[in-house]
Amino acid sequence: MSETVQMKEQLLTLKAEALDVLEKVGTPKELDELRVKYSGKKSALTEILRGMGKLSAEERPVVGQVANEVREAIEEVINRKQEHFVREETNARLQAEKVDVTLPGRPMPQGGIHPLNKVIEELEDIFLGMGYRVAEGPQVETDYYNFEALNLPQNHPARDMQDSFYLTEDLLMRTQTSPIQIRAMEAAKGQAPLKVICPGAVYRRDDDDATHSFQFHQIEGLVIDKGIRMSDLKGTLLQFAREMFGEQTEIRLRPSFFPFTEPSVEVDVTFTKKNGERVWIEILGCGMVHPKVLEMGGFDPEVYSGFAFGMGVERIAILKYGIDDIRHFYSNDMRFLKQFSRI
How many other C-beta atoms can be found within 10 angstroms of the C-beta atom of residue 341? 12
Query: Which residues share a beta bridge with 221?
Result: 197, 309
The answer to whether residue 259 scores a pLDDT higher than 70 is: yes
Instruction: Judge whether 262 is annotated as a binding position.
Output: yes
- The pLDDT assigned to 340 comes to 85
The answer to whether residue 54 scores a pLDDT higher than 70 is: no
Give the three-class secondary structure for 306. strand
When mean pLDDT is compared across 53-57, 127-131, 177-181, 205-209, the lowest value belongs to: 53-57
- The mean pLDDT value for 275-285 works out to 91
Instruction: Judge contact between 4 and 63, C-beta under 8 A.
Output: yes
- Convert the pLDDT of each residue in 172-209 to its tens digit: 999 999 999 999 999 999 999 999 999 999 998 888 88
Quote the CA–CA distance of 9 and 17 in Å, as a whole number: 12
How many other C-beta atoms can be found within 10 angstroms of the C-beta atom of residue 257? 13
Instruction: Judge contact between 218 and 316, C-beta under 8 A.
Output: no
- Convert the pLDDT of each residue in 203-216 to its tens digit: 988 888 888 888 99
- Convert the pLDDT of each residue in 305-322 to its tens digit: 999 999 999 999 999 988
Query: Which residues share a beta bridge with 200?
Result: 218
Quote the CA–CA distance of 313 and 118 in Å, as a whole number: 10
- The pLDDT assigned to 267 comes to 96
